[in-house]
Amino acid sequence: MNEPKQTQAQETPTIELFDELPLHDSLRKGVREMGYVQPTPIQARTIPEAVRGRDIIGSAQTGSGKTAAFLLPILERLMQHPRGRIYALVLTPTRELALQVEGFLKLLGRHTHLRGLAVYGGVGMEDQRRRLHGGAEIIVATPGRLLDHMRRGAVDFRSLEVLVLDEADRMLDMGFLPDVRTILHQLPKTRQTMLFSATMPPEIIRLSQEFLTHPHLVRMQERSATAAGITHSAYLVEASRKTDVLCELLGREGMDSVLVFARTKHRADRLARQLEMRKIKAAVIHGDKSQAHRVRALEGFRNGRHRVLVATDIAARGIDVEGISCVINYDNPNDGDTYIHRVGRTARAQRQGMAISLVSREEADDFDRIEQHLGIKITREDLLSAYPPSFPSSPPSARRYPPSQSRGRPVSHRPRQGYRF
């Protein structure tokens, strides 16, 4: 594969404290108030170079601290800039991520005069249009909605100095690359560009070759799916018994905040209903849910009102919830990169987390390929005979859920008797 021209900086960072980074006192104050003491590796490697104005390619997972790695240099650069013009643009694949980055911006920049604005689809354009006129210096946007505004002449990028492409590989997956290119071609050529991506497929390498100049490469392997903080396991189960196994898992110790991935919107909705019927409070987010619903669901998950959040891949991009104890693949992802993205939601900021996959017979080959992609061996437990197939056509009310005393205990191989369907 053709890597972009770059200089590498893979040395172990010697910076151990935020105070050692070349940042303004008011930014250090914001950082301290967020409780950050030590920069994460990507922050230690990115911030000094980015503050010097270098282009950056950050090959880093979500959860590595990449958001502050690009926001702090932006804020530092703009410390003396007057309000009223747009100096920086961050492009993100989803509205959730845009809102999250805007949220970080508010916190990190709370002792500066700089203002951020999230611009995303699914909500009215008028308010955004008004605020785009002089209401913010840093825009965090999803490509489609931003292009709408640009086409209507509602946004002036003539003063733009910094561009960030966040989760570039996700933008590619979601088909946004043509929009991203259109936007990039309309921005001032002289600017600093930072690109962050968990994986580096050829299209992203081409994009960086086209739009970045002598980028400084920061490659963070340590936050891969094989990170020490994540324990991976898998259960081989009949497709028709996945919900039973899931419920049993949810009854175990430590399952306080669990993100469950389903393959489709329909399956996510159905699963949330099944959990509800079993008195497990679950919120659901996917692409068909309104923005208000998504915000409410995420909020409920964040504050613990729902212990379980059922999500599809696209809706889950950029979810940043502290302390997710476990990510469960109710349906398996099709490829290794999606697996990495999903499990990257747990064990964030160097904490511990679990990743559990429910693998049906039909998914077993895909799962083997994911394992090969990750280069790790994942412990599997065979529950095929412990949970014999049910008849999918039987109405849920006619099914018997495993006896309540079994909840909270580990799933065992012991064949379960007495199920009636």
Binding site for ligand AMP (CB under 6 A): 36, 38-40, 43, 62-68, 320, 322, 348-349
Judged by CB, which is closer to ligand AMP: 141, or 386?
141
Judged by CB, which is closer to ligand AMP: 3, or 16?
16
Judged by CB, which is closer to ligand AMP: 39, or 48?
39
* DSSP secondary structure, 114-169, as one string: --EEEE-SSS-HHHHHHHHTTS-SEEEE-HHHHHHHHHTT----TT--EEEE-SHH
Judged by CB, which is closer to ligand AMP: 61, or 128?
61
Nearest distance in Å: CB 363, ligand AMP: 29
Nearest distance in Å: CB 149, ligand AMP: 26
Angle, vertex CA 245, rays to CA 227 and CA 392, nearest 5: 130
Do the Cβ atoms of 354 and 327 come closer than 8 Å?
A: yes
Do the Cβ atoms of 262 and 271 come closer than 8 Å?
A: yes
| Residue number, nearest CB to ligand AMP | 67
Strand partners, 141: 91, 119
Strand partners, 380: 234
Nearest distance in Å: CB 35, ligand AMP: 7
Judged by CB, which is closer to ligand AMP: 244, or 320?
320
Judged by CB, which is closer to ligand AMP: 280, or 327?
327
Tell me how far CA of residue 361 lies from CA of 137, 264, 347, in angstroms: 52, 19, 28
Nearest distance in Å: CB 348, ligand AMP: 5
- For residues 130 and 238, what is the distance between their CA atoms, to the nearest angstrom? 54
Contacts of 91 (CB under 8 A, 6+ apart): 141, 142, 143, 146, 163, 164, 165, 166, 171, 180, 183
Burial of 11 (C-beta count, 10 Å sphere; 0-12/13-18/19+): exposed
Nearest distance in Å: CB 166, ligand AMP: 9
**Chain CA centroid to CA 4, Å:** 25
Tell me how far CA of residue 247 lies from CA of 194, 227, 281, in angstroms: 42, 27, 11
Judged by CB, which is closer to ligand AMP: 43, or 346?
43
Phi, psi of 397 (to 5 degrees): -65, -20
Strand partners, 259: 309, 327
Nearest distance in Å: CB 23, ligand AMP: 12
Nearest distance in Å: CB 47, ligand AMP: 10
Phi, psi of 19 (to 5 degrees): -65, -20
Judged by CB, which is closer to ligand AMP: 71, or 147?
71
Nearest distance in Å: CB 278, ligand AMP: 31
